[in-house]
Chains A and B, each alone.
Chain A
Amino acid sequence: MSSQADILGRIREALTARAPAPGHHGETAPAPAAGSFRQWLPPVGESFEDRQRLFAQNAAMLKAVFKTVPNPEAAAAEIRQLVTAHQWKKMATHTSPLTDAVCGNLGVDWLRTDQPYETAELEKCSASVTACEALVAQTGSVLVTSRSCGGRAISILPPHHIVVAAKDQLLPDLAAAFELMRRKYKDDYPSTISFITGPSRTGDIERILVLGAHGPKELTILLIA
């Protein structure tokens, strides 16, 4: 406890002297309200189509696969194709209206991660199918949380992550995603809130892009619209 008191004491003493205003030449500007950031960040269109186009561009740049499908059956067909092509035997998912609608009758062994499970079992899964909280057009990100998307590890441990999203989940930007979190969870946030932007990547060797450094090598996003 004493270090806490010491550190806070030193902070309070230090702050008795006033610092010059931020910026290079002493311009004064009060800290802007968080809502005002949008005007400086990369622009996002107004309509659903604008956002969808922007998300698709970002996903392509990030080397994620992004497909818009008309209904859950079509999403299920996309997943079935992947299962057949890769001959997946074991996959992970969790219970949610969207995942339940697309994960039936695939002939694979399912691990459900919304109940306590063995890490070793999840490690054996070739792919995972999860819901998401939102898609973010501005950045091409998928927002997942530990409460609504099958826990912490399901979106990072298996080598292929498939995300299913509904039309109204496509949000313009990060600010809108945080707004959603606040509205949805009030003060009872999940322990993990993660923006996934493309498959796992590294450039640590000669700045050459390699996918699947530690997390999924592939990210497939299916938007049902």
Chain B
Amino acid sequence: MSEYSQQFKASATRLTADLDHRQWISKALRGYETKRDEFKGRFQSWEEARQAAAAVKYEVINHLDRYLAEFVAKLEARGAVVHWASDAREAREHILRIARENQARFIIKSKSMTSEEIHLNDALQKAGFEVFESDLGEYIVQLRDEPPYHIVFPAMHLKRGEISQVFQQKLGAEPVTDPEALTMIARRIMRQKFCQADMGISGVNFGVAETGMISITENEGNARLTTSLPRIHVALMGIEKLVRSMDDLALFLPMLATAGAGQNLTGYNTLYGGPRLKGESDGPTQFHLVLLDNGRTRILADAEQRDLLHCIRCGACLNVCPIFRNIGGHSYGTTYQGPIGSVITPHLRGLQDWKHLSFSSSLCGACSQACPVRIDLAHHLLHNRRNAIREKPPALEKLAFRFFSLMMRHPGLYRFGMFMGKLLQPLHPIVKGSALDPAKAWTKTRETPKFAQTSFRDWWKNRPQNRPT
């Protein structure tokens, strides 16, 4: 068992037993579901919109080289500098170099899961830069020195008291617990940072190939500020995030808002096509785009699972997942949680180390139903299971099935097995649930089924009408 798998099991076991935590998460997600259904209902056909979105992403991902080339050429023509990064290290180096060359000191960030994926904050801080997350949820988890709990709602696990506490400890804030007052504390502090910052780092929700623009979706306006005030803007983007044209956004922006947060449209949807242009009065004088592979071409090479690159990171699959609701976002130990995280992490960080996530699922299929671009996540979990077993067959399981097959083919052996089982079962309570229990994994939380006192064979033989006369 990998170390990740052990951590996962320990954390999942602890949180599944934490009823308070489960209720808190379920309540939040029920609220999301109500809003999502309301706005889904406004679509003339949500299902056809999903199919269309899937088809658009299929077209782009299956011609990714062409769309990427078009996208990059258009961006560069407007004065953007494009950097390519094969892995996380190279992406960090690009960004560190840009910061050093421009003598940046204060760096302000808007929410980007891709930056979490490459552990950018750590790298920047170690290199002596001050980095501030400006998204409220991200700022709270940054102050708590925690990874985001959920790709869209980073601080959904925290109650106002806990947030107030960390504001008091880390910021010397007054002891208020009202969400509005807490938000205003963060707003005041961030305003100063925004005005000081010389470099802004953002993520990217969509890259528009036709016009060479990036699109950023947010509610708070912090990404707008991140990309308006500092003199340098660096955007970090996975190579798969493309759509064909601006018109595609007319479909994707409302779908992202509805599936992701139960909104009609997210507060700010902004397209950026480069640095401040001639005749414009403000905005950064440099615009850098870092394009990240980091395992994405591996997913692309797996034709069966290629559609994982269709993902728009809306978080809908996390929100409906019974596993996520019970074990919580931190148990995964991954950048991307929930079904999408379980499916892609083995591709990004190694199948054998992360296969346990694909096995930790009831395969209920809620994720496949929720996905706005129709990725069949439940089946991809099965694909990962199959691939993991094919690559490294589990010896013990194989042995057990070989023995089972032997028993089933030899009635004498079968009868002997049943007889021994019946004989020994009364002794089971002595070891039940302990390390000596052969069925420990099952009996820890469940009762074992009882062996019948009379087997079907005996009952049939002794049935009066079957008795030989």
Contacts and interface: CB of A to CB of B under 8 A. Distances in A.
A206 to B, nearest CB: 6
A62 to B, nearest CB: 8
A210 interface: yes
**Contact count band on B:** 35 or more
Given A208-B179, A214-B222, A215-B225, A194 B268 contact: yes
Contacts of A208: 179-180
Contact of B220 (A23, A153, A200): A200
A7 interface: yes
The winner among A23, A37, A207 for most chain B CB atoms within 10 A is A37
A97 interface: no
A189 B154 CA distance: 34
Given A157-B225, A189-B273, A23 B51 contact: yes
A212 to B, nearest CB: 7
A24 interface: yes
Name A's interface SS. Answer: loop
Interface in B106-140: 134-137, 140
Given A19-B306, A182-B246, A204-B135, A197 B267 contact: yes
Given A31-B56, A113-B281, A123-B195, A41 B160 contact: no
B267 A200 contact: yes
A42 B44 contact: yes
Contacts of B31: 207
A210 B85 contact: no
A215 B282 contact: no
Contact of B297 (A7, A18, A24, A151): A7
A120 B195 contact: yes
Contacts of A8: 65, 68-69
Interface string B252-273: 0110000001001111111111
Interface string B28-48: 100110000000001111101
Nearest to A117: B281
Contacts of B222: 213-215
Interface string B212-252: 01000001111011011100000000010000111111110
Contact of A14 (B52, B264, B280, B301): B301
Contacts of A67: none
Nearest to A8: B65
A198 B376 CA distance: 34
Given A20-B303, A22-B310, A204 B155 contact: yes
Nearest to B79: A191
Contact of A202 (B136, B248, B269, B300): B136
A205 B265 contact: no
Nearest to B69: A8
A8 B293 CA distance: 10
A205 B307 contact: no
A22 B137 CA distance: 34
B374 interface: yes
Contacts of A156: 221, 224-225, 228, 268
B188 to A, nearest CB: 11
Nearest to B275: A191
A6 B68 CA distance: 14
B215 to A, nearest CB: 9
A20 B283 contact: no
Contacts of A38: 250
Nearest to A13: B301
B36 to A, nearest CB: 13
A215 B268 contact: yes
Contacts of A6: 84, 86
A63 to B, nearest CB: 11
Interface in A186-206: 187, 189-206
6 contacts: A17-B301, A27-B51, A152-B280, A178-B250, A208-B179, A213-B221
Q: Which 4 A-B pairs have the closest CB atoms?
A: A215-B221, A34-B247, A204-B137, A213-B220
Interface of A: 3-4, 6-8, 10-15, 17-24, 27, 29-32, 34-43, 58, 61, 113-117, 119-120, 123, 138-141, 146-147, 150-153, 155-157, 173-175, 178-179, 181-182, 187, 189-208, 210, 212-216
Given A15-B65, A40-B45, A215-B224, 6 more contacts: A22-B374, A24-B368, A31-B56, A58-B264, A200-B268, A207-B28
